[in-house]
Amino acid sequence: MSAELPEIPEFSPRQNAVLEQALKLLVEGGEKALTTSGLARAANCSKESLYKWFGDRDGLLAAMIAFQAAKVRTFERGAARLTVDLLRENLETFGRDLLEVLSGDVSLALNRLAIGQASREGSKLGRLLIEHGRRQIDRRAIGLMEAGRRAGLLRFTDADSAYHTLYGLVVSDLHVRMLLGEPGLKDNARQAARAVDAFLQLYGVAPDTEHA
Amino acid sequence: MSAELPEIPEFSPRQNAVLEQALKLLVEGGEKALTTSGLARAANCSKESLYKWFGDRDGLLAAMIAFQAAKVRTFERGAARLTVDLLRENLETFGRDLLEVLSGDVSLALNRLAIGQASREGSKLGRLLIEHGRRQIDRRAIGLMEAGRRAGLLRFTDADSAYHTLYGLVVSDLHVRMLLGEPGLKDNARQAARAVDAFLQLYGVAPDTEHA
DNA sequence: CCAGAACCGTACCGTACGGTACTTGTTGGA
DNA sequence: TCCAACAAGTACCGTACGGTACGGTTCTGG
């Protein structure tokens, strides 16, 4: 009853264009700006087609999430023979990418949408968002964790726990603040670097020789 | 044009009862369940009174946030002569309280409300929520940080940065996950303890003598 | 050349909400 | 005792949305 990987629906090019327009409307004006009539007008299609393709409004929202997730495919870094510097660089790149994704317009809009919908209907969209949007980035991070351990550079018992520590150090309460409307950081790289410093202090196996 | 501390409006008992009922409706059914007609019916008052008291629907939502924030007044712990064990205990208590607050029904409902509203209208509710809801808990934590430093138990240059590190270690992505509809942790205390362990490893001045 | 499907544009329907107006008590002070 | 203020309850209005139906047009395959 879990992870049956239900074959990404694969929409037609026309439907992709409509979904793109839907995301644009959502980003510009929030959920209340995404009406079926408005989308039909903006995308030059008929409401009848919308309902034929996506069933109802909730189906449209779910399709938007699946569509966006399919676009933001993360790329696994080739884990060629990790050194401590290479590990640090990979971790910092991950942190920067994470902050970049979380502060993106579309990501924020979709998260706001799913959160606003989460009260009713068993948070169907929320689960969808976590499944589709998070799984890939989680796997990339955990891959990094375990590569670091295999290379003798990290020490931990639970990779998932270590990853969540890294996540917390990188993101802190920034995601929620941005969801609430606050601006993001000026320098994601700096934040990522500081987070990785702390992370390596906690989980790195080679103690820092310099401790000013 | 910032932080003018606009005297908490202080509602009448009758209005407090109405706001209480409004929060109840919001928690039970989300934003779409909180209609002016529904609230009037549930609270045995007239819509006309609602509009006289709160102006319009947005005013009602703002009043709900102010009302809830006024209820959840945090209590400053008396910082009597900190020892390392006392500091750890205070930090863990803070972490538990933080998780407790963030996972509360009303908190989640209000955050969902403000986030869902954040796209349009300059995120007025979001700012209100951060102002009213966060300031107190932030001050409590920063007070703890600086007490720890004064007692020679913590070392950091920026208390705010240290606090955000602690926040990230305690909360990680849990808040967003709960906002999306996932259940909370089974054991907040365990999570707080682990977070404080890591935090002290990063900022504690006395190195742990035991490192099993 | 034609039939059928797909689709656009528009008009339409039912409903539900935010907000206003009005009537009917109820209270409290002069 | 009367009156002014307040509030409950209800009825009402305009609007806007989700969803459906229909006529006209383009595309496709035989």
Centroid of chain to Cα A32: 23
CA A36, CA A58: separation in Å to the nearest integer? 11
Instruction: For residue range B129-156, list pLDDT tens digits in order.
Output: 999 989 889 999 999 999 999 999 999 9
Contact B168 A164 (CB under 8 A): no
CA dist list (Å): B67 to B128, B136, B137 = 12, 15, 16
Q: How confident is the model at residue B119 (pLDDT cuts 50, 70, 90)?
A: confident
Nucleic strand D contact set for A 31-70 (CB, < 7 Å): 32, 34-38, 46-48, 51, 56-57
Nucleotides of D under 7 A from a protein CB: 7-11, 16-23
Q: Does B135 touch chain A (CB under 8 A)?
A: no
Q: Which residues pair with A204 in a beta bridge?
A: A154
- Cβ pair B181, A127 in contact under 8 A: yes
B17 CB below 7 A from strand D atoms: no
The pTM is what? 0.91
Share of chain A above pLDDT 70, in %: 90
- pLDDT in the model for residue A113: 97
> If you average pLDDT over residues A61-79, what whole number do you get?
83
- Cβ pair A159, A212 in contact under 8 A: no
Q: How confident is the model at residue A122 (pLDDT cuts 50, 70, 90)?
A: confident
Long-range contacts of B77-84 (CB under 8 A, 24+ apart): B77/B140, B77/B144, B79/B143, B79/B144, B79/B147, B81/B151, B82/B147, B82/B148, B82/B151, B82/B153, B83/B151, B83/B153, B84/B153, B84/B204, B84/B206
Q: Which of A201, A191, A1, A188 is nearest to A101 (CA)?
A: A188
DSSP conformational letter for B32? G
- pLDDT in the model for residue A76: 66
> If you average pLDDT over residues A159-182, what whole number do you get?
97
- pLDDT in the model for residue B8: 47
- pLDDT in the model for residue B78: 64
- pLDDT in the model for residue A6: 40
- Over its C-alpha atoms, chain B yields an Rg (Å, rounded) of 20
Q: Does A182 touch chain B (CB under 8 A)?
A: yes
CA B119, CA A72: separation in Å to the nearest integer? 22
B44: Cβ contacts below 8 Å, ≥ 6 apart: none
Instruction: For residue range B11-61, list pLDDT tens digits in order.
Output: 888 999 999 999 999 999 999 999 999 999 999 999 999 999 999 999 999
- Cβ pair B172, A141 in contact under 8 A: no
B24: Cβ contacts below 8 Å, ≥ 6 apart: B42
- pLDDT in the model for residue A79: 59
Residue A18: HSE in the Cβ half-sphere, 13 Å Cα cutoff? 24
Instruction: For residue range A1-18, list pLDDT tens digits in order.
Output: 443 334 445 789 999 999
B4 CB below 7 A from strand D atoms: no
Instruction: For residue range B70-87, list pLDDT tens digits in order.
Output: 887 766 666 578 899 999
Q: How confident is the model at residue B1 (pLDDT cuts 50, 70, 90)?
A: very low
> If you average pLDDT over residues B192-198, what whole number do you get?
98
Q: Does B31 touch chain A (CB under 8 A)?
A: yes
B40 CB below 7 A from strand D atoms: yes
Q: Does B112 touch chain A (CB under 8 A)?
A: yes
A117 CB below 7 A from strand D atoms: no
Query: For chain A, what is the mean pLDDT?
Result: 90
- Over its C-alpha atoms, chain A yields an Rg (Å, rounded) of 20
Query: For chain B, what is the mean pLDDT?
Result: 90
| Residue with the larger pLDDT of the pair A107 and B5 | A107
